[in-house]
Structure 1
Amino acid sequence: MALGDYLKTERLIKLPWYQKALIIGVIVLVIVILYFFTLDRKYQNKIKDLKGQIAKLDKDITDLQTVKRDLPKFERQNALLKKQLEKAMTKLPSKAQIDALLKDVTVRARNNNVDITAFEKKPEIDQTLYVEVPVDIKMKSGFFQAMIFFNELARLERIVNVKNLTMKSDKIGNLEVSYTLNAYRFREASEATPETKKGQAKKGFGKPKEEE
């Protein structure tokens, strides 16, 4: 006899007590199985989610421990780079010191019997971290005096270089030399960077207002 037939009220009432108990037990068992199946799936998902969170936290802890272990090395590297930057910056004079540097160049020329006939400071060229200061120079001297003078320029503590060098000899054997001396100075904190100036130009900063 099918369970559905037993569940009919008339038949259920007429059944012996042990059959009634069996039917009730089956119903309760089905309910319990369904409940635990649903509950089990719920907790399986929860456990899976928690395991994923724990794995992520374990990885984060491992990464932090690695960073903590390497932190002294990073600090030493940072300190070394700062010292190297400070040392490099000492080779770049400030805006106030650049004239003193250029004067030092003329003094060294005079001390080596080099006659500077033209000394024209050109407009400064903005770079990202520094400012280039070009100076067009013409001079007359003997060959060896010129070589000694250029050697002294190369040994300056400040950074300078020579570009566009041309030489020719006059009628009595002296050299006539022309070149561009590029000196470099430190960018002052108050000075706008080239990027800032470009931005201001795009926005129209510094342009005169049109008359109404």
Structure 2
Amino acid sequence: MSATRTTANKGRGIDLQRLAQDFRGLDPNDPGLWPAAPQVAVYLAVLVLTVAAFWWFDWQDQALTLEARRAEETQLRDSWVAKKRQAVNLEEYRRQLEEIDRQFGALLKQLPNRAEMDSLLSDINQAGLGRGLQFELFKPGADVVKEFYAEMPIEVRLSGGYHDLGEFVSDVASMPRVVTLNDVGLTADKDGILKMDAKATTYRYLDEEELARQRQAAQAAKKGNK
């Protein structure tokens, strides 16, 4: 057994020596006469360099383009699916839009127009007087114009009993027109009479003339930004 192993090891050593010998003394001017091992090594090196050159100068760009096209395809497919869903649910979207328009119209009706503001201010004043409160201040401010409506702040100061003031606040909240009370403060004098300072805010929608001015101002602002 030991003799056999020794012979095998010598055989392997001789093969490695021969392989190393094949790579010595090669004539670069006549590679056709090279042994098989150097020729195969050169062919493999040329193949690897050729593949690397194609990858660097051509295939890499093609791979990036392919990846971009795949991403674009995925995006277009998602967009198509979303549009298909919208098309399938088009009637439901229309119904929801009509419901939103109806609700918006109902809310808009709670806003008075410019001609009705005097009546609304009188209603607020009568709400306080009807509860036996004394107005020490009732001062409407300038309109704050928004996109399609305007706010009118009103500074008020009333004096009276606790329950009467609470009923006044409840009356204002239950008005058919939208009126809010903010910055409410209560103080009591030496006789126990309460004084309430607050800023009431009511709202009105803009008429066609005011909306036209709003649109003109918006267009002028866009031109100014350009």
Return the TM-score normalized by structure 1: 0.60
Indicate yes or no: 2:135 matched with 1:116: yes
Q: For the residues of structure 2 that align with 1:84 and 1:104, how far apart are their CA atoms?
A: 25
- State the distance in 2 between where 1:134 and 1:120 align: 8
Q: What is the aligned partner in structure 2 of residue 107 from structure 1?
A: 126
- Work out whether residues 167 and 178 of structure 1, in 8 Å CA contact, stay in contact via their aligned partners in 2: yes
Show structure 1 runs of 4+ deviating over 6 A.
61-65, 201-204
Mapped partners of 1:62, 1:96: distance in 2: 51
**Superposition pairs for residues 45-124 of structure 1, below 5 Å?**
68-124=87-143
Q: Which amino acid aligns with 1:131?
A: A
Matching residue of 2:46: none
Give the equivalent residue in structure 1 for 2:204: 185
User: How far apart, in 1, do the equivalents of 2:183 and 2:218 lie?
Assistant: 29
CA gap 1:136/1:71 in 2 versus in 1, 3 angstroms: same
Q: What SS does the corresponding residue of 2:191 show, helix, strand or coil?
A: coil
Percent of matched pairs sharing the same residue: 21
The residue type paired with residue 153 of structure 2 is: P
1:147 aligns with 2:172: no
Tell me which of the two structures has the higher relative contact order, counting C-alpha pairs closer than 8 angstroms and 6 or more residues apart: 1
2:54 aligned partner: none
Q: Aligned-pair distance for 1:69?
A: 3.6
User: Deviation of residue 159 (structure 1)?
Assistant: 1.2
Which string of whole-angstrom CA distances, capped at 9 and with x for unpartnered residues, describes residues 79-121 of structure 1?
Answer: 1011011111011111111111111011111111111121111
Displacement after TM superposition at 1:199 (Å): 6.2
Match for residue 160 of structure 1? 179
Unaligned regions of 5+ residues in structure 1, if any? 1-58, 205-212
Instruction: State the Cα distance separating 1:75 from its structure 2 match.
Output: 1.7
Aligned pair in 2 of structure 1 residues 70, 145: CA closer, same or farther (>3 Å)?
same
Task: Name the amino acid aligned to 2:157.
Answer: K
- Letter matched to residue 118 of structure 1: L
Deviation (angstroms), 1:195: 7.1
Alignment TM-score, normalising by the size of structure 2: 0.56
Aligned 8 A contact 1:126 1:194 in 2? no
More helix by share: 2
Count, aligned residues: 146
Q: Unpaired segments of 5 or more residues in structure 2? A: 1-76
